[in-house]
Amino acid sequence: TGMRAPAVLWAALLLAAGLAPAGESPPAARAGNMLVYGAGLKPLINDPNLAGNGWNEATSLTWSRLYRVGLRGRIEPDLVERHEISADELKWTLHLRHGVVWHDGRPVSSADVRTTLEQLFDPNIACDLDLNLPMVAGFDYPDGRTVIIRLNQPAPLLPVPLSEIAVGPGPFRFSGRLEDGALEFLRHEPFHLGRPAVERILVREIPDDAERAAALARGEIDIAHIKPQQLGMVDGARARVVRMTTG
Protein backbone atom coordinates (compact mmCIF):
# COMPACT_ATOMS: atom_id res chain seq x y z
CA THR A 1 0.00 0.00 0.00
CA GLY A 2 3.07 2.26 0.31
CA MET A 3 2.68 4.75 -2.52
CA ARG A 4 -0.86 3.99 -3.73
CA ALA A 5 -3.02 6.09 -1.42
CA PRO A 6 -0.60 9.06 -1.31
CA ALA A 7 -0.47 9.16 -5.10
CA VAL A 8 -4.26 9.23 -5.35
CA LEU A 9 -4.58 11.91 -2.68
CA TRP A 10 -1.75 13.97 -4.16
CA ALA A 11 -3.56 13.99 -7.52
CA ALA A 12 -6.65 15.31 -5.76
CA LEU A 13 -4.58 17.88 -3.89
CA LEU A 14 -3.10 19.16 -7.12
CA LEU A 15 -6.64 20.02 -8.14
CA ALA A 16 -7.64 21.37 -4.74
CA ALA A 17 -4.53 23.52 -4.47
CA GLY A 18 -4.98 25.00 -7.94
CA LEU A 19 -1.85 23.27 -9.23
CA ALA A 20 -3.49 21.15 -11.89
CA PRO A 21 -2.45 21.27 -15.57
CA ALA A 22 -4.31 23.56 -17.93
CA GLY A 23 -7.83 22.36 -18.60
CA GLU A 24 -8.35 20.81 -15.16
CA SER A 25 -10.60 22.50 -12.62
CA PRO A 26 -10.42 22.23 -8.83
CA PRO A 27 -13.27 20.57 -6.95
CA ALA A 28 -15.63 22.94 -5.22
CA ALA A 29 -14.91 23.45 -1.54
CA ARG A 30 -17.77 23.10 0.97
CA ALA A 31 -18.85 25.83 3.38
CA GLY A 32 -15.93 27.32 5.25
CA ASN A 33 -13.57 26.78 2.29
CA MET A 34 -12.86 23.23 3.45
CA LEU A 35 -12.35 19.80 1.88
CA VAL A 36 -12.98 16.52 3.71
CA TYR A 37 -10.99 13.44 2.70
CA GLY A 38 -12.11 9.91 3.56
CA ALA A 39 -9.02 7.81 4.30
CA GLY A 40 -9.13 4.05 3.89
CA LEU A 41 -5.96 3.53 5.93
CA LYS A 42 -4.99 5.02 9.27
CA PRO A 43 -3.22 8.31 8.46
CA LEU A 44 0.12 8.89 10.19
CA ILE A 45 1.66 12.32 10.74
CA ASN A 46 5.23 11.35 11.63
CA ASP A 47 8.35 11.72 9.46
CA PRO A 48 7.69 9.45 6.42
CA ASN A 49 11.41 8.78 6.04
CA LEU A 50 11.56 6.79 9.28
CA ALA A 51 10.72 3.12 9.71
CA GLY A 52 7.08 2.38 10.47
CA ASN A 53 5.77 5.63 9.00
CA GLY A 54 6.02 5.95 5.22
CA TRP A 55 3.98 8.11 2.87
CA ASN A 56 0.26 8.27 3.51
CA GLU A 57 -2.63 10.71 3.19
CA ALA A 58 -1.43 12.97 6.01
CA THR A 59 2.26 13.11 5.14
CA SER A 60 1.41 13.84 1.50
CA LEU A 61 -0.22 17.03 2.79
CA THR A 62 2.52 18.17 5.15
CA TRP A 63 5.76 17.25 3.34
CA SER A 64 7.34 18.00 -0.01
CA ARG A 65 10.17 16.27 -1.87
CA LEU A 66 13.09 17.14 -4.11
CA TYR A 67 11.07 15.71 -7.02
CA ARG A 68 7.45 14.60 -7.06
CA VAL A 69 5.10 12.45 -9.08
CA GLY A 70 2.81 14.77 -11.03
CA LEU A 71 -0.87 14.41 -11.83
CA ARG A 72 -0.12 12.44 -14.99
CA GLY A 73 2.43 10.15 -13.37
CA ARG A 74 5.56 11.96 -14.55
CA ILE A 75 8.47 12.91 -12.30
CA GLU A 76 8.52 16.70 -11.89
CA PRO A 77 10.64 19.16 -9.88
CA ASP A 78 9.37 19.96 -6.40
CA LEU A 79 11.89 21.66 -4.09
CA VAL A 80 14.40 21.42 -6.94
CA GLU A 81 13.98 24.29 -9.37
CA ARG A 82 16.39 22.83 -11.94
CA HIS A 83 19.33 20.46 -12.16
CA GLU A 84 22.45 20.05 -14.23
CA ILE A 85 24.25 16.83 -15.14
CA SER A 86 28.00 16.75 -15.84
CA ALA A 87 29.34 15.52 -19.19
CA ASP A 88 30.40 12.19 -17.67
CA GLU A 89 26.99 11.91 -15.94
CA LEU A 90 28.68 11.35 -12.57
CA LYS A 91 27.65 14.64 -10.96
CA TRP A 92 24.18 16.05 -10.52
CA THR A 93 23.89 19.66 -9.37
CA LEU A 94 20.49 20.43 -7.84
CA HIS A 95 19.42 24.05 -7.48
CA LEU A 96 16.75 24.54 -4.82
CA ARG A 97 13.86 26.95 -5.27
CA HIS A 98 14.32 30.43 -3.85
CA GLY A 99 12.08 31.63 -1.04
CA VAL A 100 10.77 28.27 0.25
CA VAL A 101 9.87 28.42 3.95
CA TRP A 102 8.89 25.82 6.53
CA HIS A 103 5.51 25.93 8.22
CA ASP A 104 7.06 27.91 11.09
CA GLY A 105 8.49 30.51 8.68
CA ARG A 106 12.12 29.34 8.69
CA PRO A 107 13.75 29.32 5.24
CA VAL A 108 14.51 25.96 3.60
CA SER A 109 18.13 25.52 2.59
CA SER A 110 20.60 22.88 1.49
CA ALA A 111 21.33 22.31 5.20
CA ASP A 112 17.85 20.76 5.51
CA VAL A 113 18.58 18.44 2.60
CA ARG A 114 21.90 17.53 4.20
CA THR A 115 20.22 16.67 7.51
CA THR A 116 17.70 14.45 5.75
CA LEU A 117 20.26 12.62 3.59
CA GLU A 118 22.59 12.04 6.53
CA GLN A 119 19.66 10.54 8.42
CA LEU A 120 18.81 8.22 5.55
CA PHE A 121 22.41 7.01 5.18
CA ASP A 122 22.96 6.60 8.93
CA PRO A 123 23.10 2.84 9.71
CA ASN A 124 21.91 3.55 13.25
CA ILE A 125 18.62 5.08 12.08
CA ALA A 126 15.91 2.72 10.83
CA CYS A 127 14.33 3.87 7.56
CA ASP A 128 11.70 2.15 5.43
CA LEU A 129 12.86 3.75 2.20
CA ASP A 130 14.73 1.39 -0.10
CA LEU A 131 16.39 4.08 -2.20
CA ASN A 132 18.74 1.65 -3.94
CA LEU A 133 21.47 4.28 -4.03
CA PRO A 134 24.72 2.27 -4.01
CA MET A 135 25.73 4.39 -6.99
CA VAL A 136 26.03 7.46 -4.74
CA ALA A 137 29.65 8.36 -3.93
CA GLY A 138 28.87 11.40 -1.79
CA PHE A 139 27.23 14.79 -1.42
CA ASP A 140 28.46 18.38 -1.42
CA TYR A 141 26.66 21.53 -0.32
CA PRO A 142 28.57 24.52 -1.74
CA ASP A 143 25.93 27.07 -0.71
CA GLY A 144 22.48 27.40 0.79
CA ARG A 145 20.60 26.58 -2.40
CA THR A 146 22.84 23.99 -4.05
CA VAL A 147 23.16 20.23 -3.51
CA ILE A 148 25.70 18.21 -5.50
CA ILE A 149 25.32 14.44 -5.76
CA ARG A 150 28.46 12.57 -6.80
CA LEU A 151 27.91 9.15 -8.39
CA ASN A 152 29.96 6.00 -8.93
CA GLN A 153 28.06 5.29 -12.13
CA PRO A 154 25.57 7.14 -14.33
CA ALA A 155 22.02 7.16 -12.94
CA PRO A 156 19.64 8.73 -15.47
CA LEU A 157 16.64 7.85 -13.30
CA LEU A 158 18.05 9.43 -10.13
CA PRO A 159 14.98 11.71 -9.63
CA VAL A 160 12.82 8.61 -9.13
CA PRO A 161 14.33 7.50 -5.79
CA LEU A 162 14.75 11.16 -4.81
CA SER A 163 10.97 11.54 -5.20
CA GLU A 164 10.50 9.19 -2.24
CA ILE A 165 12.34 11.41 0.25
CA ALA A 166 10.46 13.84 2.49
CA VAL A 167 12.65 16.92 2.80
CA GLY A 168 10.56 20.11 2.89
CA PRO A 169 7.20 21.71 3.73
CA GLY A 170 3.98 20.55 2.10
CA PRO A 171 0.98 22.63 1.03
CA PHE A 172 -0.72 22.19 4.41
CA ARG A 173 0.43 22.12 8.04
CA PHE A 174 -0.94 19.78 10.69
CA SER A 175 -3.15 21.70 13.12
CA GLY A 176 -4.40 18.95 15.42
CA ARG A 177 -6.91 16.18 15.99
CA LEU A 178 -10.58 17.13 16.38
CA GLU A 179 -12.94 15.64 18.98
CA ASP A 180 -14.40 13.25 16.39
CA GLY A 181 -10.92 11.91 15.56
CA ALA A 182 -10.46 13.73 12.24
CA LEU A 183 -7.06 15.24 11.51
CA GLU A 184 -7.11 18.95 10.66
CA PHE A 185 -4.68 20.59 8.24
CA LEU A 186 -4.47 24.31 7.52
CA ARG A 187 -3.24 26.02 4.38
CA HIS A 188 0.47 26.87 4.13
CA GLU A 189 0.07 30.29 2.54
CA PRO A 190 3.56 30.64 1.00
CA PHE A 191 3.68 27.09 -0.47
CA HIS A 192 6.33 27.09 -3.19
CA LEU A 193 4.13 25.47 -5.88
CA GLY A 194 1.28 27.93 -5.38
CA ARG A 195 -1.10 29.00 -2.64
CA PRO A 196 -3.62 26.18 -1.96
CA ALA A 197 -7.13 27.09 -3.04
CA VAL A 198 -8.76 25.77 0.15
CA GLU A 199 -8.01 26.93 3.67
CA ARG A 200 -8.64 23.69 5.54
CA ILE A 201 -8.58 19.93 4.94
CA LEU A 202 -10.01 17.32 7.28
CA VAL A 203 -8.86 13.71 6.99
CA ARG A 204 -11.40 11.25 8.38
CA GLU A 205 -10.50 7.57 8.73
CA ILE A 206 -13.18 5.35 7.13
CA PRO A 207 -11.60 1.89 6.77
CA ASP A 208 -14.69 0.12 5.41
CA ASP A 209 -14.70 0.40 1.60
CA ALA A 210 -18.49 0.40 1.21
CA GLU A 211 -19.03 2.93 3.99
CA ARG A 212 -16.39 5.22 2.50
CA ALA A 213 -18.12 5.13 -0.89
CA ALA A 214 -21.50 5.70 0.78
CA ALA A 215 -20.15 8.71 2.66
CA LEU A 216 -18.89 10.13 -0.63
CA ALA A 217 -22.27 9.58 -2.29
CA ARG A 218 -24.07 11.25 0.65
CA GLY A 219 -21.80 14.29 0.43
CA GLU A 220 -20.29 13.75 3.87
CA ILE A 221 -16.78 13.69 2.39
CA ASP A 222 -15.41 15.33 -0.74
CA ILE A 223 -12.53 13.08 -1.82
CA ALA A 224 -11.91 9.37 -1.33
CA HIS A 225 -10.08 6.43 -2.83
CA ILE A 226 -12.74 3.83 -3.60
CA LYS A 227 -12.57 0.42 -5.24
CA PRO A 228 -14.12 -0.49 -8.63
CA GLN A 229 -16.85 -2.58 -7.01
CA GLN A 230 -18.14 0.55 -5.23
CA LEU A 231 -18.32 2.74 -8.35
CA GLY A 232 -22.03 2.09 -8.73
CA MET A 233 -22.59 3.81 -5.40
CA VAL A 234 -21.15 7.12 -6.58
CA ASP A 235 -21.73 7.22 -10.35
CA GLY A 236 -24.56 9.66 -10.97
CA ALA A 237 -24.27 11.14 -7.48
CA ARG A 238 -22.67 14.50 -6.66
CA ALA A 239 -19.24 12.86 -6.85
CA ARG A 240 -16.88 13.29 -9.79
CA VAL A 241 -15.21 9.95 -10.53
CA VAL A 242 -11.57 9.99 -11.65
CA ARG A 243 -10.38 6.54 -12.70
CA MET A 244 -6.72 5.93 -11.95
CA THR A 245 -4.43 2.93 -12.37
CA THR A 246 -2.68 2.15 -9.11
CA GLY A 247 -0.03 -0.40 -8.15
Q: How far apart are CA 148 and CA 41, in angstroms?
A: 37
Half-sphere exposure (Cβ direction) of 142: Cα atoms closer than 13 Å: 8
Q: How far apart are CA 51 and CA 39, in angstroms?
A: 21
Please name which of 146, 79, 85, 82 lies closest in space to residue 111, comparing C-alpha atoms: 146
Q: How far apart are CA 90 and CA 158, in angstroms?
A: 11
Q: Could you say which residues of the chain have pLDDT below 70?
A: 1-32, 128-133, 235-247
Query: Residue 4's pLDDT is what?
Result: 42
Query: Residue 57's pLDDT is what?
Result: 81
User: Which helix (DSSP H) or strand (DSSP E) does residue 114 occupy?
Assistant: helix 110-120
Q: Are 65 and 168 in contact (CB under 8 A)?
A: yes
Query: Residue 2's pLDDT is what?
Result: 39
